[in-house]
A = this chain, B = another copy of it.
């Protein structure tokens, strides 16, 4: 399905009015049914929907690997995804979206969700990347986002190694873009614990928790990082970098993984 559509708009510029066709980003509701029960409706860009479903299930801790998915089908026209899971835990279902009210889950107090505190991983990765590679990958990433240039309405993210971009996804939602990336990596059996993640959107606690659950050791954004995401990065030993633009960046945590040009 198309991720953007032409619609007739009225463009105003000073005292000029013009009716013309302009490209706007499509927003598509996808309702996920797990074992025949309606689970959630995601608002997303209508592409890579299977990857989105797999990534969403992994991010929410509902699956650990691809083998748990016995069946997965998407009805694009209706906007329905049907998943059959083995070992689907009603425990997970009941705790979905619920906060840790009690503390003491073993990972400090920066987590607000009991499942997250149990499933996010401390990164052990000894992976390193040079400063020049970061600058080069950031540039390549910025050049890859075509829908954004076209409509101004989507976020993108990509998975890289030092050589280049391995997986790239766009979506109207930052979270969906990352879930699509995670879903593709899981379905293709691509390891995540020795890769870096680039995202156009702000890094919030939810974004870094999502990445940490998949053991991604380095997370880089063109935008800001929140204070809570920095605390979580410290606790989970994730390298967190923001405002990576041109030949600048802000390193919020884990600079031991970055090899600087002047060292």
Q: Which residues of A contact B (CB under 8 A)?
A: 4-5, 7, 9-15, 17, 22, 24-29, 31, 38, 40-41, 43, 79, 97-99, 101, 112-113, 131, 151-153, 172, 202, 204-206, 223-230, 243, 247-252, 255, 260-262
Bound: A228/B45 CA distance, A: 11
Verify A153–B25 contact, CB threshold 8 A.
no
Verify B17–A224 contact, CB threshold 8 A.
no
Question: Which of A25, A97, A205, A223 counts the most B-chain CB atoms under 10 A from its CB?
Answer: A25
**Interchain residue pairs with CB less than 8 A apart (15):** A7-B230, A11-B249, A11-B250, A12-B251, A15-B262, A17-B262, A24-B230, A26-B227, A27-B227, A27-B228, A29-B99, A41-B98, A43-B112, A43-B206, A172-B226
Neighbouring B residues of A43 by C-beta, 8 Å: 112, 204-206, 228
Contact of A250 among B10, B113, B260, B262 (CB under 8 A): B10
Verify B112–A24 contact, CB threshold 8 A.
no
Given A31-B101, A41-B99, A97-B41, do A225 and B24 touch, yes or no (CB 8 Å)?
yes
Bound: A15/B249 CA distance, A: 11
Q: Which residue of B lies closest to A22 (CB)?
A: B250
Nearest-neighbour CB distance to chain B for A7, whole angstroms, equals 6
Bound: A136/B30 CA distance, A: 39
Neighbouring B residues of A98 by C-beta, 8 Å: 38, 41
Verify B172–A7 contact, CB threshold 8 A.
no
Verify B153–A24 contact, CB threshold 8 A.
no
Bound: A227/B26 CA distance, A: 5
Neighbouring B residues of A202 by C-beta, 8 Å: 153, 172
Nearest-neighbour CB distance to chain B for A45, whole angstroms, equals 10
Question: Which of A12, A43, A172 counts the most B-chain CB atoms under 10 A from its CB?
Answer: A12
Nearest-neighbour CB distance to chain B for A258, whole angstroms, equals 8
